[in-house]
């Protein structure tokens, strides 16, 4: 079968690999769409998180945000037939086929008729956004700041919009991403290249001068969907988040960090900040995420910025690595 194999940093090759063999109770999914995830990018650019790839003889097959249809079943799997459309959680979907193990087969989530494979392939990142949003327990009337308007930050915006009338401020470096945030219902956007984020947000509240050392903050919750890249310097987004959140407010960290940060934790103590790490999702949230898409409450189509055939996987990874223009790049095997 055809696959895009990760060989090393910035080296993804389109090659022929063995089609997975099936044991009794296993199935083969023909992958119809697979998104490139931020974590795949950490692997592609820095060689991190290798465990998220499926090992082959020559390298690893990345990709875990996918959808497809059942092509083959060995034996019988209750409720699963050849031709059925599913999404689920597994690794190695930058390929023509993916093995559905007996364990994965217990968590195949059916895709409703009106939902395309490409939309369904955004279920996993939406579930990640939903999990982070649920941690924040957003209420009507609150002010929420989302730092980072990639697929996770924009997904959080969509989850908030679908569930409350909270006011949302979205911060990013890309005007393209910020324009999309406005289109998706953000109340305000800030380009962090064009102004000082802390000053812009805190200044608007007239609280900036009063409490310079421990700024009072204006946000009930701040989401850090940025983290830090290996070559990052300056004031981290997490530090900014701690400064713009209200006393007793929440900071939810959904990003991953390519290196440790130096932060003065006193601000967390003095403001009584509730700091949450948000990793992945529960199965209920995964199912809910797809239901939000199928019910039309959340439209993922504007987030699909590019589609590439699997042959062009290398170009697809380079495109996703350009945060200025790409939101979600899809590989279509």
CB of 64 to Zn ion, least distance (A): 6
Q: In this complex, which beta carbon is closest to Zn ion, that of residue 218 or of residue 286?
A: 286
CB of 11 to Zn ion, least distance (A): 21
Q: In this complex, which beta carbon is closest to Zn ion, that of residue 28 or of residue 37?
A: 37
Contacts of 281 (CB under 8 A, 6+ apart): 124, 127, 128, 130, 131, 289
E strand segments, the chain = 2-8, 11-16, 27-35, 54-55, 60-61, 65-73, 85-87, 97-100, 109-110, 143-147, 167-172, 188-191, 219-224, 245-253, 274-277, 304-309, 328-332
Query: SS3 helix, strand, coil % of the chain, rounded to 5?
Result: 30, 30, 40
Given the structure tokens 């060689």, which residue do they identify? 47
Within 10 angstroms of residue 48's Cβ, the number of other Cβ atoms is: 16
Question: In angstroms, rounded to a whole number, what is the distance separating the alpha carbons of residues 90 and 168?
Answer: 33
Question: In angstroms, rounded to a whole number, what is the distance separating the alpha carbons of residues 333 and 326?
Answer: 19
What's the chain's length in residues?
Answer: 333
Among 29, 37, 52, 160, binds Zn ion (CB under 5 A): 37
Q: Which stretch binds Zn ion (CB under 5 A): 35-43, 99-107, 146-154, 211-219?
A: 35-43
Per CB under 5 A, contacts with Zn ion among 45-74 are none
Q: In this complex, which beta carbon is closest to Zn ion, that of residue 151 or of residue 251?
A: 151
CB of 123 to Zn ion, least distance (A): 10
If DSSP codes are grouped into helix, strand and coil, which group holds residue 75? coil
Q: In this complex, which beta carbon is closest to Zn ion, that of residue 37 or of residue 54?
A: 37
Q: Which stretch binds Zn ion (CB under 5 A): 33-41, 199-207, 236-244, 304-312?
A: 33-41
Name which of 64, 68, 53, 65 is nearest 17 in CA terms.
Answer: 53
Asked if 226 and 252 touch (Cβ cutoff 8 Å), the reply is: no
DSSP string, 149-188: -SHHHHHHHHHHHHH---EEEEEES-HHHHHHHHHTT-SE
Q: Which stretch binds Zn ion (CB under 5 A): 3-11, 31-39, 313-321, 325-333?
A: 31-39
Q: In this complex, which beta carbon is closest to Zn ion, that of residue 74 or of residue 305?
A: 305
Asked if 321 and 16 touch (Cβ cutoff 8 Å), the reply is: no
CB of 139 to Zn ion, least distance (A): 28
Q: In this complex, which beta carbon is closest to Zn ion, that of residue 115 or of residue 151?
A: 151
CB of 89 to Zn ion, least distance (A): 10
Q: Which residue is nearest to Zn ion (CB)?
A: 37
29 binds Zn ion (CB under 5 A): no
CB of 122 to Zn ion, least distance (A): 10
Q: In this complex, which beta carbon is closest to Zn ion, that of residue 37 or of residue 180?
A: 37
Residues in contact with Zn ion, counted by CB under 5 A, come to a total of 1
CB of 157 to Zn ion, least distance (A): 17
Binding site for Zn ion (CB under 5 A): 37
């Amino acid at each position: 079968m055809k696959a895009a194999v990760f060989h090393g940093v910035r080296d993804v090759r389109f090659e022929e690999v063995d089609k997975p063999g099936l044991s009794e109770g296993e199935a083969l999914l023909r992958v119809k769409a697979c998104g490139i995830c931020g974590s795949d990018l950490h692997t592609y650019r820095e060689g991190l998180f290798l465990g998220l790839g499926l090992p082959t003889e020559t390298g690893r097959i990345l990709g875990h945000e996918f959808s497809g249809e059942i092509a083959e079943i060995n034996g019988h799997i209750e409720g699963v037939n050849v031709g059925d459309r599913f999404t689920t959680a597994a690794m190695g979907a930058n390929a023509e086929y993916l093995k559905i193990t007996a364990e994965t087969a217990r968590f195949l989530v059916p895709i409703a008729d009106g939902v395309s494979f490409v939309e369904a392939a955004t279920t996993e990142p939406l579930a990640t956004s939903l999990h982070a949003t649920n941690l924040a327990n957003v209420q009507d009337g609150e002010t929420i700041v989302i730092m980072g308007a990639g697929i996770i930050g924009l997904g959080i915006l969509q989850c908030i919009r679908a569930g409350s009338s909270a006011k949302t401020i979205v911060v990013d470096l890309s005007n393209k991403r910020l324009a999309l945030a406005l289109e998706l219902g953000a109340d305000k956007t800030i380009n962090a290249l064009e102004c000082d984020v802390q000053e812009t947000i805190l200044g608007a509240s007239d609280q900036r001068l009063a409490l310079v050392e421990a700024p009072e903050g204006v946000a009930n919750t701040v989401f850090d969907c940025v983290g830090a890249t290996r070559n990052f310097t300056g004031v981290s987004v997490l530090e900014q988040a701690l400064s713009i959140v209200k006393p007793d407010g929440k900071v939810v960290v959904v990003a991953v960090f390519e290196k440790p940060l130096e932060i003065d934790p006193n601000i967390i103590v003095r403001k009584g900040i509730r700091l949450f790490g948000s990793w992945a999702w529960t199965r209920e949230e995964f199912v809910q995420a797809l239901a939000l898409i199928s019910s039309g409450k959340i439209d993922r189509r504007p987030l699909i910025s590019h589609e590439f055939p699997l042959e062009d996987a290398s170009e697809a990874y380079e495109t996703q690595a350009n945060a200025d223009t790409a939101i979600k790049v899809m590989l279509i095997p």
